[in-house]
Structure 1
Amino acid sequence: MTWRLPFGADLEQDGTARFRVWAPRAEKAQLTLRDRDSRKTVPMERNGDGFFSASARGWRPGSLYTFLLDGKKERSDPASRFQPEGVHGPSCLVDPSRFEWRDEKWKGLPAEDLIFYEAHIGTFTPEGTFESAISKLPYLKKLGVTCLEIMPVAQFPGARNWGYDGVCLYAAQNTYGGPGGLKKLVDACHAEGLAVCLDVVYNHLGPEGNYLADFGPYFTDRYRTPWGPAVNYDGPGSDRVRDFVIQNALYWVHEYHVDALRLDAVHGIYDFGARHILEELNGAVQAGARGLGRSVAVIAESDLNDARLLRPPKQGGYGLRAQWSDDFHHALHVSLTRETGGYYRDFTGPADWAKALRDTFVYDGRHSSYRDRRHGNNARDLPGDRFVVCIQNHDQVGNRAFGDRLSTMTDFSGQKLAAAALLLSPFLPLLFMGQEYGEKNPFQYFVSHSDPDLVEEVRRGRKNEFLSFGWKDIPDPKSEETFERSRLDWTLPGTREHRKILALHRDLIALRKSLRYSGRMDKRSFRVHADPGNGWIAWESRPAGRTSAAAVAAVFSFSDGGHSIRLPFRTRSFTEILNTEAPKYGGSAGPVRTGREGVIPFTGRGAVIGKIA
């Protein structure tokens, strides 16, 4: 059965355009249509349950339309597929069947094979468009990542934004290239064997151009998010709001062929109904994926440390495929930088990173001094590939006052150590664009709102957000210079130091794949050793059920200066596979092969991976 969007605008093969909108707050509605040659107003019929509908012949893709509510408020379609003039302008008729997909053989990738590469379309390339990103896909393929994760693209105000101020959930951003550009990018990714994960925002809408409240009870004052009114998932009228969001998820899967959805900040989604919106949304997506014969993963960003997101509904969970886990990042960040401001004060360094490797959540019911309460629950029994981890992402870089990257906070050896710690963890790794070659440019917070009062409010909010970190003199989010500073510098991968860390990332990803395919990246087979006092962590892994198979081990040292580490494994025979301080990666360490003494020399911070007999 072919999926069709049950509201919005639909173009029939006979040239009829059909329109349907949910507007229970309006007594009457009219449809206005226009193109270069003509303009027409059509009364809309009230159908019950708050819906209005109309049809018109002779209109084609590219024609513009709006809804006039009660003769006063002219608004774009809440389910508009394209906003060529931005959030305050009219909607545009789009015929989804006109795009010629070439990915009919693409069925997606197993979720456990995903290695994410997070990119912001506006700053990923000099042009900042969907189509310009296509030129970088061979580079990503060679790097070894398997999934391009695209930050939100739902239409936002202006041309400069992270995407979390989107207000037209069905419209791909006009300045990036609109729906045609995004489809070309997804199609090209699949041609390269790359999956696509789209970041979607269902916890709030942006403050400018958000006209949904004129149509119906899309928002509630029963709860409030840090970003504005909460979406109404459990109050009067919420059935249609839930359907609007669920259909949006299905829309990206069916009309844009995306392979995964990353749900932004689900801790800002409030639903006390009998069936949580996350469970219902995931169920609908999985049913749609089965119908398409494809694999589609629903992944949550959450700071709740709540395994319920992943547990099956029969165990009281929501059944999502994976969730982000910040504890891995925070513990590793503190180990590398020794930063203790803000939420980093909850983390001690290597000891907490060892706990993250063993248990996933560092805060699994422990008391958090930052929150002044117990936080999280136990996820130790869940496989590592149910969690996405990183050492950089848009939040952990961009939500620093100056958007400084790890490459500016730790030395070259520290960057390489961090890469090994991430890519040789039992979790699903995520790279943030440019991290693989040690990008130096910051990724700062930027907006291009047109309302001066709103811009001033954003400026105040950013300053207040960083008080607990002690950061002052925040870059101006509205300044175009802030945006331009955040673009990637694509000249760097060809320079000496950056070329070497890029080579390390490629080799680590290749090694990760070979270890995973041989069963050695399974968290259940990991045995973690730690000596936080001396600044080192180690793990060993042997394929489950294969006691005679060779084990693989890794040792991570966070100590500066020359030193040695005695292997904590039962066997002391160790043969190096990869050393982050090898000359090919810009270091000076020689090959490591130990005998009975089982001692590994380190020239400073670094990681060594090898076989143990």
Structure 2
Amino acid sequence: MSTARVWAPRPATVAVQIDGVRHPMTPGEGGWWEGPDLPPGARYGFLLDDDPTPRPDPRGRRLPDGVHGLSQAALPRLAPLDWPGRELRDGVIYELHVGTFTPEGTLDAAVARLGHLVDLGIDFVELLPVNAFNGTHNWGYDGVAWFAVHEAYGGPDAYAGFVAACHARGLGVIQDVVYNHLGPSGNYLPLYGPYLRDQAANTWGQEVELSHAEVRRYILDNARMWFEEYGVDGLRLDAVHALRDTSDEHILRTLSRETDDLSRRLERPLTLIAESDLNDPVMFRPRHEGGHGLTAQWSDDYHHAAHVALTGETAGYYADFEPLTALGRVATRGFFHAGTWSTFRERTHGVPLDDDVEAWRLVTCLQNHDQIGNRAAGDRLSASLSPRRQAIGAVLAVLTPSTPMLFMGEEWGASTPWQFFTSHPEPDLGRATAEGRFAEFEKMGWNRDVVPDPQDPATFQRSKLAWDELAHEPHRRLLAQYRDLIALRSREPDLRSPRLGDLSAEIDEHERHVTFVRGRIRIRLNLGDATWRPEGEEEALFATSDDVSGNPLMLPPDSALVSRTIE
């Protein structure tokens, strides 16, 4: 049985209402309040000063009636200790959104599809945020109750069951968490204490007050909850560049130190992956060398270069990636912008990576939730690329020297879009969200009729995967290619965990030919209009189409070949 306890330095008095009965609470040190025991299953909330409406527990594990309702007490939870864990090195990540992964949109329904991921060769499932938010569906980044699992997904018990089911199949679980802001509806934290900075905001809302010890502890305890109570294997830390911290020790450094300590205690590896726009190895540089000591970080530059090479799009932030040499640079040096001028940002950006950096420290992708969903129509590459180009994309996605991440449905070229969707119950907030979306794309020259209304339930429904596509061409062939490439990556040592200094590439800008050198393995892409006949003969390991040959070497237009040199 747990005890009613809350950090609330702002109100002068605090009481707790348990199953309709009011109980006074006793003030303690540092703004903490103590109350009676909470029977399992009891509905409870805190009464702050003279406010007659009980507010949910900031650390409550369940909100059965939504973010504006009462919390529900539960027995303390500890994850089973029989799972040995998985290292990120040499792993393949699969990013999915619970609400659109299956028609049902629940964690239990997702469990039924885990066999597909095992057959594909996936090592880690990465869930978009599952913390509680107002409404029935959205991407998850508008969460306001960080310790509660969204009820429409199945709540905390279903989440624990999902993690256990993944582990039973050998799959690790990475949870996407958001510590840089809170959503616009149901955020009661400011009533309790100084969680947010009143005069500072980032792109998504008010900044989190990282200078306060208890606010930092709120974040650190939330991270520990996912690892210790649910047994997850890693956290993807959303937009860490928005965590403005002037403390003696940056919150990311503290988080990595505490996570390493917890990893030793649990005797299994725990992973921290930063989504960072900084292009700075400080994220994964060891703490004793002045870094934050995280495990890895996302690298959007690889996506941008691959996207431009395949599609020819050069608008906005894609402009700097127009030369095909950009693809060679990101595949051998990790970052494209590494102390170089960024046209989109209008400033010098990034820090170079040393030769000794292991490429797996960067997580790369061909598609992800942001790069699809933040397009005007939420269109995937399958909407604009031929099957031959999609197969080349599969090679780039899976055989990246870094840690590859796929976005759900990418492996079969899903025809369904993945659009920006919300379900704000408040009419004013819903209208403001939709109008803001329309205005954003009108500034970029889009007709607002092309941009889906995020509040329209049809936008959400359109974004759900159509699993029946797997039985039909060209989806079935692309799925087989992704499966073969992941298996090839797994069995060939030259395709795993290289140092950046061991990588090289040859780019023919005029003919649009690309060769990546990985030990004795060559990865060749023909993005040009004519057949490419390199000199020599090699052992073919994978070809994107039947008209590609390794002996003699020959690649028709829009094809790729993975081969091994013959000694």
Per the normalisation by structure 1, the TM-score is 0.89
Amino acid at match of 1:478: Q
1:218 and 2:195 correspond: yes
CA distance in 2, matches of 1:556, 1:123: 33
1:319 aligns with 2:293: yes
Q: Does 1:46 align with 2:20?
A: no
Q: What is the CA–CA distance in structure 2 between the aligned matches of 1:118 and 1:519, rounded to whole Å?
A: 20
- With 573-582 and 168-177 compared, the bigger mean Cα shift is at 573-582
| Long gaps (5+) in structure 1 | 1-10, 12-16, 543-550, 583-588, 595-599
Offset at residue 485 of structure 1 (A): 0.3
The question of whether the paired residues in 2 share the 8 Å contact of 1:147 and 1:194 is answered with: yes
Provide the C-alpha distance between the structure 1 equivalents of 2:256 and 2:439, rounded to a whole number of angstroms.
Answer: 35
What is residue 525 of structure 2 aligned with on the other side? 556
CA contact (8 A) 2:548 2:556 kept: no
Deviation (angstroms), 1:315: 2.2
Kept in 2, the 8 Å contact 1:578–1:608? The answer is yes
Residue 542 of structure 2 corresponds to 578
Contact 1:223–1:270 (8 Å) recurs in 2? no
Deviations 1:196-234 (A, max 9, x none): 000000000101001100000000135311111000012
Question: Cα–Cα, structure 1 residues 271 and 340, in superposed 2: closer, same or farther, change >3 Å?
Answer: same
**Cα deviation 1:25-76 (Å, max 9, x = unaligned):** 0101000011xxxx321100000211101113xx532210000000215210
TM-score by length of 2: 0.96
Equivalent residues in 2 for 1:109-148, closer than 5 Å: 109-148=86-125
| Structure 1 Cα separation of the partners of residues 284 and 50 of structure 2 | 47
Aligned to 1:272: 246
Q: 1:529 aligns with which of 503, 506, 525?
A: 506
- Checking the alignment, whether the CA contact within 8 Å between 1:151 and 1:199 is kept in structure 2 is yes
Say whether residues 1:413 and 2:383 are aligned partners: no
Partner Cα distance (1:83, 1:190) in 2:
26
Q: Distance in 1 between matches of 2:90 and 2:539?
A: 27
> Does structure 1 retain, via aligned residues, the 8 Å contact 2:44–2:56?
yes
1:609 matched to 2:567? The reply is: no
Give deviations 1:494-531, integer Å, cap 9, x for gaps: 10211100000000000001123886755443221111
Q: Distance in 2 between matches of 1:140 and 1:109?
A: 16
SS in 2 for 1:576: strand
Residue identity in the other structure for 2:542: L
Q: CA deviation at 1:254?
A: 0.3
Deviations along 1:237-281, one digit per CA (max 9) or x if unpaired, are: x11000000000000000010001000011111101111001001
Aligned equivalent of 2:401: 426
Residue in structure 2 matched with residue 548 of structure 1 by the alignment: none
Instruction: Count how many residue pairs are aligned between Structure 1 and Structure 2.
Output: 562
Is 1:76 aligned to residue 34 of structure 2? no
Provide the residue aligned with 1:281 in structure 2: 255
Who is 2:550 aligned against? 592
Matched residue of 1:256: which SS?
A: coil
Q: Relative to structure 1, is the Cα distance of residues 31 and 421 closer, same or farther in structure 2, using a 3 angstrom cutoff?
A: same
How far did 1:348 drift? 1.1
Q: Equivalent of 1:157, from 109, 134, 139?
A: 134
Distance 1:298 1:40 in 2: 42
Equivalent of 1:350 in 318, 324, 333: 324
CA contact (8 A) 1:282 1:320 kept: yes
Q: Distance in 2 between matches of 1:96 and 1:230?
A: 31
Q: Which moved more, 1:397-406 or 1:349-358?
A: 349-358
| Cα 1:394–1:519 shift into 2, 3 Å | closer
Question: What's the counterpart of residue 371 of structure 2?
Answer: 396
Partner of 1:14: none
Written as runs of structure 1 = structure 2, the 5 A alignment for 1:90-489 is: 90-97=70-77, 104-234=81-211, 238-381=212-355, 382-467=357-442, 469-473=444-448, 474-489=451-466
* Runs of 4+ deviating beyond 6 Å: none
Which residue does 1:55 correspond to in 2? 36
Question: How many percent identity over aligned positions?
Answer: 40
Whether contact under 8 Å (1:341, 1:470) holds in the other structure is no
Pair 1:140–1:286, CA change in 2 (3 A): same
CA contact (8 A) 1:342 1:468 kept: no
Q: Which moved more, 1:167-176 or 1:334-343?
A: 334-343
Equivalent in the alignment of 1:4? none
Q: Aligned-pair distance for 1:289?
A: 1.3
Secondary structure, counterpart of 2:36 in structure 1: strand
Higher deviation after alignment, 239-248 or 529-538: 529-538
3-state SS of 1:74 partner? coil
Q: Relative to 1, partners in 2 of residues 1:168 and 1:516: Cα closer, same or farther, differing over 3 Å?
A: farther
Q: Is this contact kept in 2: 1:515–1:521, CA < 8 A?
A: no
Q: CA offset at residue 383 of structure 1? A: 1.0
User: Could you tell me which amino acid in structure 1 is paired with residue 550 of structure 2?
Assistant: V
Say which of 507, 527, 534 aligns to 1:566: 534
Tell me the CA shift for residue 104 of structure 1. 3.5
1:24 corresponding residue in structure 2: 9
- Residues 565, 94 of structure 1: CA spacing in aligned structure 2 closer, same or farther, 3 A cutoff? farther
Q: Secondary structure at the match of 1:506?
A: helix
